[in-house]
Amino acid sequence: MIRRAELALLGVAIVTCAPNAFAVRPFITDDARVVGKHQAQIESWARWDEHSQQHWTVAAIGPVAPLELSIGAVHGVAIHDETHRYSLAAPLLQAKLLLHEARSNEWPGVAVIGGSFLPFGFGGFQAPLSGFAYLAATQVIGRDDVLVHTNVGLAGAAVAEPSARTSQELERHARLRFTWGLGTQIHVYRSVNLALETFTGDPYAEVGGGAAQGGFRFILSDNIQLDATGGSGLWGKPQMEAWASAGLRLVSDRLW
């Protein structure tokens, strides 16, 4: 079984954007937008760190204009003591409700998000039952020249730790964590955008430390985007390892 500190680093779920939409992937910090009424999207990305090689896939659909429903999973290789094991964790379930749409140089957009990572999986990626809820805000400056995203929320997990009476006995209890994030996307040239963020308490992973990452988002069209980033933990315990990530997002036109 992979150590708790290592397991906590395995789940970094991050999403993506299109030219006329706001950013998420490669951010941990979410945005105040939804995919759109009767539209769908597929986000797929790879993530590498010292103890894992991960492949994430998240699908989302907009059944009605202000609502986005997502389901996702992660699989790959968990590395522990030079042993490589195929691992999987699923499903990630999430709902996002848009309360106020963000518009250029006006009041920020606001959304509320809630979800859970269910405790199914094997090989080291499986995690305890967890849930999260947070508020997201997005400010648009200029003609999408600068986007600023902020999050604040709570995340909890059902964890088993050694009993105070004896280390041979495990006690189950709920652990609650405060989460926040601040990210910005800056348009550089044509399809190239700079992405920077700092955050603490990733809602999708049992980790309470803070980290930062930076990279680039390449917006090829309204339907296709590529991105590449790198990041590292900065404070807290367990501290996140340095990682690199590359992803793809595909967005459909209206399906019905």
pLDDT along the chain (256 residues), means of 10: 37 31 70 96 95 95 97 94 92 97 96 94 85 96 94 86 62 82 96 96 76 96 95 88 95 96
CB-count exposure of residue 135 (10 Å: 0-12, 13-18, 19+): middle
CA distances from residue 76 to 6, 44, 48, 179 in whole angstroms, order as listed: 14, 13, 10, 26
The per-residue pLDDT for 128 is 80
**Domains in the chain and their CATH numbers?**
4-251 (2.40.160.40)
The per-residue pLDDT for 77 is 96
With H, G, I as helix, E, B as strand and everything else as coil, classify residue 6.
Answer: helix
Contact 85, 77 (CB under 8 A): yes
